[in-house]
Structure formats: structure tokens, C-alpha cells
């Protein structure tokens, strides 16, 4: 986790839990290396980022997004959006 990442807190939490049983068993310098490598992999790889997204809570939506001008114009004209063009 060399660069600043918005997921750093989550990565630290995951690594704390994953490596807790190795503290006192594996030398501190080796544990630090393992931690750094795992953190970098979680932050930089596609698989790691997918896992982090799965661990995050779903965002809270307080209201719907506004309809754009094009969609509003289509609704006013009475189009259903299922009309086939020929």
C-alpha cells in the first residue's frame, strides 16, 4: 500500500484480521513484508479490488437521480421506449 488509496482503512482491517495469528510466530520484518505484499495486491489487482468492493457496505441512496432532458422529452411525447424503428 505504497500510494494513498481510499480503501486503505478496509485493507488494514482485513490484514489485521488475516495476520493476527502470525504475530509472535513469524518475525516482525517478515510479517511486515507479507503485509505490504498482500496490501499491494488487494489495492492494485482486479481480483483484489473486486474483493474489497464486496466487503464494503452498499451505498445509501437518499433520493433518485433526476431525469435528463432527453428522457423527459421522450416521456412528454408519449413514447414508451419499446417502439421499434423500421
Query: What is the tens place of the pLDDT at every residue in 13-52?
Result: 999 999 999 999 999 999 999 999 999 999 999 999 999 9
Residue 11: Cβ within 10 Å count: 21
Exposure of 42 by Cβ count < 10 A (0-12 exposed, 13-18 middle, 19+ buried)? buried
pLDDT at 83: 53
Nearest to 18 by CA among 57, 27, 10: 10
Per-domain boundaries in the chain: 1-57
Give per-residue pLDDT as tens, 55-76.
998 878 777 766 666 655 555 5
pLDDT at 73: 57
pLDDT at 78: 57
pLDDT at 41: 94
Amino acid at each position: 500500500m505504497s500510494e494513498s488509496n481510499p480503501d486503505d482503512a478496509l485493507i488494514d482491517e482485513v490484514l489485521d484480521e488475516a495476520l493476527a495469528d502470525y504475530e509472535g510466530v513469524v518475525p516482525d520484518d517478515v510479517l511486515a513484508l507479507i503485509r505490504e505484499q498482500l496490501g499491494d495486491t488487494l489495492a492494485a489487482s482486479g481480483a483484489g479490488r473486486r474483493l474489497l468492493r464486496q466487503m464494503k457496505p452498499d451505498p445509501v441512496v437518499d433520493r433518485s437521480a433526476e431525469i435528463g432532458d432527453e428522457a423527459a422529452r421522450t416521456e412528454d411525447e408519449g413514447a414508451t421506449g419499446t417502439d421499434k424503428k423500421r
